[in-house]
Structure 1
Amino acid sequence: MPRNRFTRGLGVTALLTASVMLPVPAQAESVTDYTITLNPGARGAAIDDTMYGIFFEDINRAADGGLYAELVQNRSFEYSTADNTSYTPLTSWAVRGTARVVDDAGRLNERNRNYLSLAAGSAVTNSGYNTGIRVEQGKQYDFSVWARAEAGTTLTVGLQDAAGTLASAREVAVSGGWKKYTATFTAGRTSSRGRLTVASARAAALDMVSLFPRDTYKNQPNGLRKDLAEKIEALRPGFVRFPGGCLVNTGSMEDYSAASGWQRKRAYQWKDTVGPVEQRATNANFWGYNQSYGLGYYEYFRFSEDIGAMPLPVVPALVTGCGQNRATNDDALLQRHIQDALDLIEFANGPATSTWGKVRAQMGHPEPFGLTHIQVGNEENLPHEFYSRFQKFRTAIEAKHPGITVVSNSGPDDEGTVFDTAWRLNREGKVAMVDEHYYNSPEWFLQNNNRYDSYDRQGPKVFLGEYASQGNGWRNALAEAAFMTGLERNADVVKLASYAPLLANEAATQWRPDMIWFNNRASWGSVNYEVQKLFMNNVGDRVVPSTATGTPGVSVPISGAVGLSTWATSAAYDDVRVTAADGRTLLSDDFSGDASKWTHHGVGSWSVQNGQYVQTDAAAENTLVTAGDPAWHDYDLKVKATKKSGREGFLVAFGVKDTGNYYWWNLGGWNNTQSAVERAVAGGKSTLISKPGTIETGRTYDLEVKVRGRQVSLYMDGVLWDRFTDDKQAEPFRQVVTEDARTGDLIVKVVNAQDSAARTAIDLGGLRVSSQAHVTTLAGDPDAVNTESDAAVVPVGSTFSGVSGKFTYTFPANSVTFLRIKRG
């Protein structure tokens, strides 16, 4: 269940890592003056207890080898080339003697098909995850195995590393058919490179070879890695969205069966993940590895309950996403998935006497979990196909469970045709809540603090289910913090928000940035984690309306050189011409000679061929070449482009300052499904325009980009494709004020994402307050990152004694500061 309001008033005290008295920050060499003025007579938006939460997806090996505490990798010998081309059923195992993996009628059960046949006098050793199995001196570890052997067979089980024995060996007597056997180890010393060995003097069959730390989170069986779970708990999230993400709506929606060949690339379906762990399926993970489903829906619900968060499961809508873009027309399959969603609600909320409530009770939780929200679908790029199926799910769920909120979504981007169409359908259908996702540059987050100011207050509410600013540096976290002040200000529209992804194994990372990083010996919060934790522990219950002055800005024209690039495509360019607004020719190249005017910055293979500039590597990504002067502005760029082969289309760059700062017209991107204009700032990209579109192979396109001031017009074959004006101010000074109902505290939250301090006159609008404020500050160099060995940005607590109805506070450069002020 969600946290109560009492727990929300404890935030700053819990966050203080240094309880020291600090003066107002000294005046920096550069200081910008601001004002913040409260209007306590106006009524701001109420903030729900569930405002901020977490999104868990099994990406970056977040589950097996991560949050799920199992120490043995490939414990049931189910790894397959369907998971990863480098996998075999013996991945992570070394054999001494003779052993083979068998799939026959003697298997443990239908879902757990492979087992190991171990010959007499043989042994197998498991290497765990990362560098090996982590054990700590004096701690206990629980071994288990399902085994089958003749009476009198003894398994010898040991823990060791290269330096020798880690724990005394255990003898496990095995007799007869498949049974589960257990033993306990106490580690004699600490190691991160342990190995688990199982040996037998006689022939034996083994499956589900497991080793768990006894000390799991809350000592739960089949439990969670304690340090990771505690870091998540410390966020005090209001909800947990699970299990994805791209896991939900990619792969086949069919069931496991002999008829389907026990296919392994199957979309995540909750019924695969409940019941005894030895009876659960394993599956290929969308992100390129295997997932055991030891961490399944029951464990997600249990964890949500343990941390006081609302569970928010996501089920597939039978429209695939994440680049697959397929929709099923099998009505029987659709109806089966709708029934699965209804059964999920019964599993979570039904009495222990119901069909699926009984399964939950048998797993150890007779009381309902109290599910209130369920999401259907994730980032579908086919809005009409998705919505028609979503309606059928919603109708069935609301008919049987009218108290459940059914959450829809708006596709994979923050704008564009798919986004607009999805939102129109959701508004027309009076959907309760719509999920938005976006991963943009820090600049975008600083520019879009007011994104939700103009949303319809009577329309669907927003669930910001995934967002991040494309980096784990402090400049990224500052931009996210600035954006979060806008989320809180619009808490009547934005009801739920979660940063993503949550976890990353440093040795197996498919996506960056991530909130919490780990290896097999340690975990650490990124600087983004520290921002999320500060906000999530100090939400408040209502916004106190306030205004602030902005940072003076000067509008300058878009300027920069020009460029050509490709992405997983071979293409040819010709007749490049750049003309100034006054008619002067700045660049002209028909490639009748060489390519000396161009500088190659990235990968790929460029050469002049038959009077064209050709990039021939159809696998290389971002093959940028540039020409011209970074000071150019107000110009026309014309070029002919022809796709020769590959997955996508063309990338025509303009306003190029360097390889991390530019604009480009991305034609036929996203596997040749969309075209867009993207802006890169310090390497992070954000989308300015997006619309569906494909590029034909072999066809020559005449492309033109007209840059005038901050306005850009784009033409394809002489027809206006679109235009935009990039004139949003990237405001570095943002603030919001909330009130804690239990304590009466005002919480003044200020983000100063610039290199100068912000000397700020604060007017509390006549409120009577204590003269003293508790202060929590996060500050650091913009490029600072937190690592296992160096926490560069951590919260520092202090006390400020200069508070009055009107007072001045100087917020440090590149900082997030929360002032908690007592009322009365």
Structure 2
Amino acid sequence: MRRGHRPLLATALALAGAAAVLPGAASGASAAPAPDYAITVDPRRAGPEISDSMYGIFLEDINFAADGGLYAELVRNRSFEFGPQDHASYTPMTAWSQVARGGATGTATVVNDAERLNETNRQYLRLDLRDGGAGAGSGVRNAGFFTGVEITAGDSYDFSVWARTDQAPGTELTVALDTGNGTPLAEDLALDVRGDTWSRYTGTLTATASAADGGLTVTAAGGGTVRLDMVSLFPQDTFLGRENGLRADLAERIAELEPGFLRFPGGCLVNTGSHEAYAAPDWPRERSYQWKETVGPVEERAVNHNFWGYNQSYGLGYYEYFQFAEDVGAMPLPVVPAMVTGCGENRATDDPELLARHVQDTLDLIEFANGPADSPWGAVRAEMGHPEPFGLTHLAVGNEENLPEEYFENFRVFRAAIGAEHPEITVVGNSGPSAGGPTFERLWELNREADVAMVDEHYYMNPNWFLANNERYDSYDREGPDVFLGEYASRDNRFANALAEAAFMTGLERNADVVRLASYAPLLAHTQGTQWRPDLIWFDNDASWGSASYEVQRLFATNTGDRVVPSRATPTPGTDDDLSGAVGLATWATSAAYDDVAVTSAEGGTLLTDDFSNGADQWTPTTGAGTWAVQDGALVQADTTSTDNMLVAGDPAWTDYDLDVTATKRAGAEGFLIGFGVQDSGTYYWWNLGGWGNTRSAVEQAVGGAKAEIVGDATTIETGRAYDIHIEVRGREVTLFLDGEEWGGFTEPTPEPFRQVVTRDAETGELIIKVVNAQDEAAVTAVDLGRGTRVGRTAHVTTLTGDPDAVNDETDQPIAPVETTFRGVDNRFTYTFPPHSVTFLRVPPR
């Protein structure tokens, strides 16, 4: 989709070959033999109501989601605040180059002195000019983000700059749009700068040609000194025409999700880095995202180092987030730091004054959002253009903290202060960074004991985990806290991942009395600036497109219904095979030694022994490289930079066995990894001891190379200490022992590829039957809507189907909705769900 120039919805074109598996009793005739299913609906019983805000979005500035993405500013480093303290490659002239026209000479220097624009925006550009005659000028050119500024013929662009000159009566600035080789893309704009105090100058350029490698050139004629700061270029075509606005195509794609809520601004941005306030001139560059720095005049907002490795301008700040939520009809849900860092940092503040300041900042945030226009912070909001309150109802404290006791102690302080002044605000707690494990369990325990209203869960898993955990919330306490599933995704962007997420979402809806809010994450990713994958919406400087997961999220959001109608489905026929596989030894950025490996059948027979006295011929590399050799009677991996390397021994058909090994960390960042259930290089389990920078340990399951945590704790590994490791595999049960003590265990999850849920749309009276068939065969299904149910004969059908390995990209979106009708509806009917499909049947009443 080109920015603002194409319809946002893909037209409902039938996929190649789809006709063979589209609705109808005969549609499965040409497919491979399919299992039989039955869906039985009980319309006489009332299931849980579904929250109006059930499906929302989480917007964090990761993958250049804001600067260079949703925030429509086209100039990078517009205030010359970049520097090597932020990133080794940065300078104050990052994205800028010096230019000269007509023989002019001069110098361009970034300075930080008493002539600065303000105390927050301290650096500016000083142009020392030397007159080169008529038509001459010297200055700078900005290349924008990545490949250049995208310029489209016929579009208009608003330019602004803060400037001052020491020349009387003034200095003429010439503003141009051009390509990298100097080809003009618009008629030049002339601005007359007057006076030696900072003033803002504006103008508009209309493009006469298009280019992907455009740039903004600003030159000054004459002599003397001109100072420039906040050099800005915005397309006039922003979302809803907002000033300082959002890139239209990205905002519109988000709006098409019809989000019920907007969680912002993070994520790891919130609870990493210093929690200190801005303090010129030497403020900490790696500060957590603090909302007060992001409101007020744009030229007074700080530039901050981003946790994800680049700088963020705060042009997209709290006001803009609140405004965007309002514009798309979403409930705003800001996240504030709990003063316990997460995302691998794991530090808690011991400064009561700093904690008290952040608590007050949070109270001030509520006033900024909801206070009257004559209150101190309500007045800031009103001055920015929104005198009416934003209507904040929910606020989250913290994100993925890994120190449960310290986090919850601070959470109680925040909640008490908020409850005392604003009892109408729902304060959301969280359960750490994983779907399970000691941190998760302890935080849930603390949240339940404190009667917290809502708890935020986060997890990123492989597709099998999502297919196997549809019932996750069936057993949650209906009297306990509600669940806010703030971040989740299957670890890739293939259609197979979207299918697994869709299957899981049927379980979210079935448990809508517990799961009140859910948002896929991350939301946005620039193809040339990606730190995390998968992502919901992809874009470059010119185009944007939805992933297969985007199509799933959009269809669930626009076909939610108001109440669940109880239903059940028969499971996929099959066997509960025992966990099977070979064994493995691996390291990650660590040197480790392994010795005395033994694999013994549960019946007592020996399957493998190796003390490495005769070399390592029984072991075969499957992933990574590493430097493996037998040293001093042990198998050693010596490279502390090599990652994801594993040696495997044994038979993939092994079941019911015990694995024993002695492991010693020699050097490096982490611990060691012990593989079991190894099928191939991408499908296995491993016990990751001392993982994640030696901060914790977990069992991970890899399927097709994508990993998911199964169980974990805070175990770390000491260098030079020999650990005795024992793993018991019995059927689908696994028990793990470390130095003779039981560490943990789990039951291998069983993926179910056929999932469904039924809801009712109160406004239309329609039953919405949602079915996911994540397997190679079509699913011929008998649907029973209940005796006496009166329904129309024709249902509207929306289907996503395609190759499970398909990936949507800029030029090809193979996963797109197909709209059809099905005319065989009755209170009992048969429907064939295509292989690898998500189907929404909207059945009208009669």
TM-score, length-scaled by structure 1:
0.96
Partner amino acid for 1:439? Y
Partner of 2:371: 350
Cα deviation digits, residues 656-686 of structure 1 (max 9, x gap): 1111100101111122221111111111222
Partner of 2:5: none
The answer to whether the aligner puts 1:395 opposite 2:416 as a matched pair is yes
Partner amino acid for 1:418? T
CA contact (8 A) 1:649 1:669 kept: yes
Partner of 1:9: none
- Aligned-partner Cα distance in 1 for 2:652–2:115: 70
Partner amino acid for 1:675? S
Q: Which moved more, 1:448-457 or 1:712-721?
A: 712-721
Partner amino acid for 2:637? Q
Partner of 2:40: 37
Partner amino acid for 1:317? A
In the TM superposition, what is the alpha-carbon distance from 1:30 to its structure 2 partner? 2.5
Q: Which moved more, 1:497-506 or 1:599-608?
A: 599-608
The answer to whether the aligner puts 1:200 opposite 2:195 as a matched pair is no
Partner amino acid for 1:782? P
Aligned in 2, Cα 1:609/1:23: closer, same or farther, shift over 3 Å?
Answer: closer
Partner of 1:17: 12
Partner of 1:135: 151
Cα deviation digits, residues 64-118 of structure 1 (max 9, x gap): 0000000001111111223221111111111235211111111100000111111
SS at match of 1:229: helix
In the TM superposition, what is the alpha-carbon distance from 1:636 to its structure 2 partner? 2.1
Q: 2:176 aligns with which of 158, 178, 189?
A: 158
Runs of 4+ aligned structure 1 residues displaced above 6 Å come to 13-16, 19-22
Cα deviation digits, residues 219-270 of structure 1 (max 9, x gap): 00000000000000000000000000000000011111148x2111000010
In the TM superposition, what is the alpha-carbon distance from 1:754 to its structure 2 partner? 0.5
Partner amino acid for 1:576? V
In the TM superposition, what is the alpha-carbon distance from 1:479 to its structure 2 partner? 0.4
Q: 2:205 aligns with which of 181, 185, 199?
A: 185
- Aligned-partner Cα distance in 2 for 1:603–1:127: 39
The answer to whether the aligner puts 1:375 opposite 2:396 as a matched pair is yes
The answer to whether the aligner puts 1:82 opposite 2:85 as a matched pair is yes
Aligned in 2, Cα 1:627/1:255: closer, same or farther, shift over 3 Å?
Answer: same
The answer to whether the aligner puts 1:435 opposite 2:456 as a matched pair is yes
- Aligned-partner Cα distance in 2 for 1:425–1:730: 31
Partner amino acid for 1:484? M
SS at match of 1:823: coil
Partner of 1:733: 754
In the TM superposition, what is the alpha-carbon distance from 1:290 to its structure 2 partner? 0.2
CA contact (8 A) 1:15 1:534 kept: no
The answer to whether the aligner puts 1:447 opposite 2:468 as a matched pair is yes
CA contact (8 A) 1:637 1:706 kept: yes
Partner of 2:3: none
CA contact (8 A) 1:16 1:776 kept: no
Aligned CA RMSD, in angstroms, stands at: 1.6
CA contact (8 A) 2:157 2:233 kept: yes
Cα deviation digits, residues 389-432 of structure 1 (max 9, x gap): 11111111111111111100011111110011000110010000
CA contact (8 A) 2:28 2:780 kept: no
In the TM superposition, what is the alpha-carbon distance from 1:16 to its structure 2 partner? 7.0
Partner amino acid for 1:182? T
- Aligned-partner Cα distance in 2 for 1:361–1:724: 55
Identity across matched positions, percent: 64
Q: 1:745 aligns with which of 766, 769, 773?
A: 766
The answer to whether the aligner puts 1:782 opposite 2:804 as a matched pair is yes
CA contact (8 A) 1:18 1:798 kept: no
For residues 309-320 of structure 1, what are the structure 2 equivalents within 5 Å?
309-320=330-341
Partner of 1:532: 553
Q: Which moved more, 1:217-226 or 1:25-34?
A: 25-34
CA contact (8 A) 1:65 1:129 kept: yes
CA contact (8 A) 1:602 1:625 kept: no
Partner amino acid for 2:171? T
- Aligned-partner Cα distance in 2 for 1:716–1:375: 37
Q: How many residues align?
A: 810
Partner of 1:170: 189
Q: Which runs of 5+ in 2 are unaligned?
A: 1-7, 100-105, 131-137
Partner amino acid for 1:621? T
- Aligned-partner Cα distance in 2 for 1:610–1:411: 42
Q: 1:117 aligns with which of 97, 110, 126?
A: 126
In the TM superposition, what is the alpha-carbon distance from 1:710 to its structure 2 partner? 1.6
Q: Which runs of 5+ in 1 are unaligned?
A: 1-12
CA contact (8 A) 1:16 1:797 kept: no
The answer to whether the aligner puts 1:278 opposite 2:299 as a matched pair is yes
In the TM superposition, what is the alpha-carbon distance from 1:14 to its structure 2 partner? 8.5
CA contact (8 A) 1:772 1:799 kept: yes
Partner of 2:613: 592
Partner amino acid for 1:110? E
Cα deviation digits, residues 111-168 of structure 1 (max 9, x gap): 0011111121532111101210011110100111111112321111111114611111
CA contact (8 A) 1:265 1:284 kept: yes
The answer to whether the aligner puts 1:102 opposite 2:97 as a matched pair is no
SS at match of 2:800: strand
The answer to whether the aligner puts 1:290 opposite 2:308 as a matched pair is no
- Aligned-partner Cα distance in 2 for 1:776–1:14: 14
- Aligned-partner Cα distance in 1 for 2:726–2:28: 52
SS at match of 2:253: helix
Aligned in 2, Cα 1:631/1:19: closer, same or farther, shift over 3 Å?
Answer: closer
- Aligned-partner Cα distance in 2 for 1:162–1:293: 28
CA contact (8 A) 1:644 1:697 kept: yes
In the TM superposition, what is the alpha-carbon distance from 1:26 to its structure 2 partner? 4.0
CA contact (8 A) 1:633 1:707 kept: yes
SS at match of 1:798: strand
Partner amino acid for 2:495? W
CA contact (8 A) 1:166 1:189 kept: yes
CA contact (8 A) 2:589 2:639 kept: yes
In the TM superposition, what is the alpha-carbon distance from 1:19 to its structure 2 partner? 9.4
Partner amino acid for 1:77? F
Partner of 1:362: 383
Aligned in 2, Cα 1:644/1:303: closer, same or farther, shift over 3 Å?
Answer: same
- Aligned-partner Cα distance in 1 for 2:636–2:425: 56
Q: Which moved more, 1:639-648 or 1:540-549?
A: 639-648
The answer to whether the aligner puts 1:675 opposite 2:674 as a matched pair is no
- Aligned-partner Cα distance in 2 for 1:258–1:128: 28
Cα deviation digits, residues 345-364 of structure 1 (max 9, x gap): 11011111000010001001
In the TM superposition, what is the alpha-carbon distance from 1:15 to its structure 2 partner? 8.6
Aligned in 2, Cα 1:392/1:23: closer, same or farther, shift over 3 Å?
Answer: closer
The answer to whether the aligner puts 1:666 opposite 2:688 as a matched pair is yes
- Aligned-partner Cα distance in 2 for 1:804–1:109: 71
Cα deviation digits, residues 173-197 of structure 1 (max 9, x gap): 1122111111211111111110111
Q: Which moved more, 1:586-595 or 1:184-193?
A: 586-595
Cα deviation digits, residues 593-618 of structure 1 (max 9, x gap): 43332222313222222222222222
Q: Which moved more, 1:204-213 or 1:715-724?
A: 715-724
Partner amino acid for 1:599? T
In the TM superposition, what is the alpha-carbon distance from 1:724 to its structure 2 partner? 2.5
- Aligned-partner Cα distance in 2 for 1:815–1:68: 35
Partner of 1:720: 742
SS at match of 2:804: coil
- Aligned-partner Cα distance in 1 for 2:139–2:642: 44
TM-score, length-scaled by structure 2:
0.94
